[in-house]
């Protein structure tokens, strides 16, 4: 059968993506060793990752989202023989993202990288202390063997050195007691330019929450932005302390909220970390001059903190928040839909699109990547977005994992689990508590959303906006802005948020 006939047959049978339709595929054997310098740093038990991609410009280990040419294989291992190394031949027992296996890799050029995830303190594979190899180019055009070594170690986090930059490493008694081990909360601080010149002055504080998985080290990008820092140190910039909260949590991003699975992160933030920061860095220690903001995950968290702790903050600036009500959990109605992967019309449900509406990836594909990242071989402890959502919204399930909203393989939704998610459905929460909540959040809510949000987050924000317009006693004065043909977080800016806070502070003085 010639290749033209083969492709035609595959199209007819619907198997274009399967290995059966590859013109050629070959077996690959991997000889993995551990550099002598790394052997003492290696923990015997962990999860081994093999990454393949087809981009010469990126390290394969950093490509953990679905994208053409990115492939991940992973396997839990006990007793890795560091001094002897390991021969990988065949994919039995491996969790993987492609349909093909090591036994039949499609012909082509790839970049390979191997990572040993041995860190148990953090939720993601990029954690300090994990071992990895150099990126290696391989050509697959015959059965072959690749020699590759774990010879590098991910170093500790570093915060840029600057006179206006401080770091916080705070032991939370609440979280430590909940987990039965020491838990530390981190943050970074950017002080106002005139802070040292006014040793007796107390300052308003802005608490910034990162996009998904953002760490306290993101202050590095802010300080290294010459335009921003030129403005920040000018007379035009507001005299406000910036606190960059850390997103790390046991199942991915902690979302700065209380969780049956991750623990009382919200209580610890409000009652421990923030008082500690404001005491040590001359915050005004009053809700009147305390603000919260963020984009994406940070947009959801900042809005949630303002709603659930309405007297603690005096304003939220929420950009492109994650789904804030769950009849529109992106494109899933968790209370009525039967399957997360397949929509009511029988099509794969997309999870991401371009601003012109073209679907870029499906929920099923996205979850498969998270399934491979998780030591449970499911998204439930992948450290990814759906792992963190499930940890926050769900009750505890089996094996110390959160109860899954949907099956990691079939996508079938358990609507009984959806009931537990209602506690963080902002529409349900605000509607239920409006009589007491409404007066407390007047003048405090600003939300921005692009109407072509890449992750289909605008429908939920639209529904929340429609609800607020129906409120009475009081009628909500929330400012919710929708921008046509704008995507995810496209209008978020640290400077813009600080100028919004500056404007609010001026109004408070009048």
- What is the bridge-based pairing of β-strands 144-150 and 131-132? unpaired
pLDDT of residue 194: 94
Query: If you search the block for the tokens 């929420």, which residue do you land on?
Result: 318
Query: How many other CB atoms sit within 10 Å of the CB of residue 128?
Result: 12
> pTM of the full predicted structure?
0.93
- Can you give the pLDDT of all 510 residues of the chain as single tens digits? 333 333 334 433 343 444 444 469 999 999 999 999 999 999 999 999 999 999 999 999 999 989 889 999 999 999 999 999 999 998 889 999 999 999 999 999 999 999 999 998 899 999 999 999 999 999 999 999 999 999 999 999 999 999 999 999 999 999 999 999 999 999 999 999 999 999 999 999 999 999 998 999 999 999 999 999 999 999 999 999 999 999 999 999 999 999 999 999 999 999 999 999 999 999 998 999 999 999 999 999 999 999 999 999 999 999 999 999 999 999 999 999 999 999 999 999 999 999 999 999 999 999 999 999 999 999 999 999 999 999 999 999 999 999 999 999 999 999 999 999 999 999 999 999 999 999 999 999 999 999 999 999 999 999 999 999 999 999 999 999 999 999 999 999 999 999 999 999 998 877
Mind giving me the DSSP string for 427-444?
HHHHHHHHHHHHHHTTT-
H or E element at residue 500? helix 494-509
- Distance in angstroms (rounded) separating the CA atoms of residues 356 and 365: 21
- Distance in angstroms (rounded) separating the CA atoms of residues 27 and 29: 7
Contact yes or no for 438/473 (Cβ under 8 A): yes
pLDDT of residue 509: 79
Query: If you search the block for the tokens 């004065």, which residue do you land on?
Result: 477
Instruction: Give the residue among 240, 355, 226 at the shortest CA–CA distance from 293.
Output: 240
CATH topology of domain 165-325+425-509: Rossmann fold (3.40.50)
Q: Helix or strand or coil: residue 159? A: coil
* Contacting residues for 358 by C-beta, under 8 A, at least 6 apart: none
pLDDT of residue 65: 87
- What DSSP state is assigned to residue 249? E
Give 381-427 pLDDT, tens digit per residue.
999 999 999 999 999 999 999 999 999 999 999 999 999 999 999 99
Contact yes or no for 128/156 (Cβ under 8 A): yes
Contact yes or no for 443/479 (Cβ under 8 A): no
Contact yes or no for 425/326 (Cβ under 8 A): yes
3-state secondary structure 71-123: EEEEEEECCCCCCCCEEEECCCCCEECCCCCHHHEECEEEEEEEEEECCCCCC
Query: If you search the block for the tokens 């920061």, which residue do you land on?
Result: 277
Query: How many other CB atoms sit within 10 Å of the CB of residue 287?
Result: 14
Q: 244-281 burial by CB neighbour count: b if 16+ within 10 A, else e? A: bbbbbbbbbbbbbbbbbbbbbbbbbbbebbbebbbeeb
pLDDT of residue 49: 97
Q: Helix or strand or coil: residue 415? A: helix
Q: CA dihedral in degrees (274, 275, 281, 283; nearest 10)?
A: 90
- Distance in angstroms (rounded) separating the CA atoms of residues 95 and 204: 49
* Contacting residues for 392 by C-beta, under 8 A, at least 6 apart: 255, 257, 259, 261, 262, 424
Q: How many helices (H) and strands (E) does the chain have?
A: 14, 26
What are residue 139's DSSP bridge partners? 109
pLDDT of residue 8: 37
pLDDT of residue 6: 36
Residues in the chain, overall count: 510
- Distance in angstroms (rounded) separating the CA atoms of residues 249 and 253: 5
pLDDT of residue 154: 97
Q: Token pair of 349, please?
A: 């449900």
Architecture of domain 27-153: Sandwich (2.60)
pLDDT of residue 120: 83
pLDDT of residue 23: 65
Query: How many other CB atoms sit within 10 Å of the CB of residue 510?
Result: 4
What are residue 121's DSSP bridge partners? none
Q: Token pair of 356, please?
A: 């012109």
- What is the bridge-based pairing of β-strands 205-209 and 290-295? parallel
pLDDT of residue 67: 87
* Contacting residues for 478 by C-beta, under 8 A, at least 6 apart: 441, 445, 446, 447, 465, 468
For the chain, domain boundaries = 27-153, 165-325+425-509, 327-423
Give 264-309 pLDDT, tens digit per residue.
999 999 999 999 999 999 999 899 999 999 999 999 999 999 999 9
- Distance in angstroms (rounded) separating the CA atoms of residues 53 and 70: 4
Please report the sign of the dihedral spanned by the C-alpha atoms of residue 376, residue 378, residue 381, residue 382. positive
Cis peptide before 474 (omega within 30 of 0): yes
pLDDT of residue 285: 84
């Amino acid at each position: 059968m010639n290749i033209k006939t083969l492709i035609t047959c595959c199209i007819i049978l619907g198997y274009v993506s399967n290995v059966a339709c590859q013109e050629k595929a070959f077996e690959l054997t991997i000889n993995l060793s551990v550099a002598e310098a790394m052997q003492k740093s290696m923990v015997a038990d962990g999860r081994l990752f093999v990454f393949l991609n087809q981009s010469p410009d990126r390290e394969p280990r950093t490509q953990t989202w679905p994208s053409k040419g990115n492939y991940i294989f992973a396997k839990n291992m006990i007793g890795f023989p560091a001094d002897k190394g390991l021969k990988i031949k065949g994919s039995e027992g491996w969790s993987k993202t492609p349909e093909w296996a090591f036994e039949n890799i499609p012909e082509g050029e790839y970049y390979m990288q191997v990572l040993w995830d041995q860190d148990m303190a953090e939720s993601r594979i990029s954690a300090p202390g994990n071992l990895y190899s150099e990126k290696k180019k391989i050509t697959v055009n015959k059965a072959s063997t690749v020699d590759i070594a774990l010879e590098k170690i991910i170093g500790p986090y570093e915060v840029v050195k600057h006179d206006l930059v401080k770091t916080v490493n705070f032991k939370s008694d609440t979280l430590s007691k909940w987990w039965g081990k020491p838990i530390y909360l981190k943050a970074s601080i950017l002080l106002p330019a005139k802070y040292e010149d006014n040793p007796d002055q107390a300052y308003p504080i802005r608490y910034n929450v990162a996009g998904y998985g953002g760490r306290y080290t993101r202050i590095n990008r802010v300080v290294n932005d010459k335009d921003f820092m030129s403005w920040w140190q000018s007379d035009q910039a507001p005299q406000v302390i910036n606190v960059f909260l850390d997103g790390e949590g046991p199942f991915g991003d902690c979302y700065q909220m209380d969780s049956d699975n991750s623990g009382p992160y919200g209580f610890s933030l409000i009652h421990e970390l923030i008082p500690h920061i404001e005491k040590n860095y001359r915050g005004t220690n009053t809700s009147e001059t305390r603000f919260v903001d963020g984009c994406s995950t940070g947009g959801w968290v900042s809005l949630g903190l303002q709603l659930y702790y309405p007297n603690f903050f005096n304003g939220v600036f929420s950009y492109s928040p994650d789904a804030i009500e769950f009849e529109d959990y992106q494109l899933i109605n968790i209370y009525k839909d039967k399957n997360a992967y397949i929509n009511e019309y029988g099509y794969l449900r997309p999870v991401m699109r371009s601003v012109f509406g073209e679907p870029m990836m499906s929920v099923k594909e996205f979850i498969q990547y998270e399934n491979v990242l998780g030591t449970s071989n499911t998204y439930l402890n992948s450290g990814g977005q759906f792992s963190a959502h499930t940890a926050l919204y769900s009750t505890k399930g089996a094996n110390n994992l959160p109860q899954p909203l949907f099956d990691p393989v079939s996508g079938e939704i358990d609507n009984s689990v959806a009931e537990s998610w209602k506690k963080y459905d902002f529409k349900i929460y605000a509607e239920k508590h409006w009589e007491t909540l409404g007066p407390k959040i007047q003048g405090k809510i600003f939300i921005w959303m692009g109407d072509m949000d890449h992750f289909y987050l605008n429908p939920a924000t639209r529904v929340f906006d429609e609800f607020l317009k129906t409120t009475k006693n009081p009628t909500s004065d929330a400012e919710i802005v929708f921008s046509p043909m704008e995507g995810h977080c496209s209008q978020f800016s640290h400077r813009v948020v600080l100028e919004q806070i500056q404007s609010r502070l001026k109004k408070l003085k009048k």
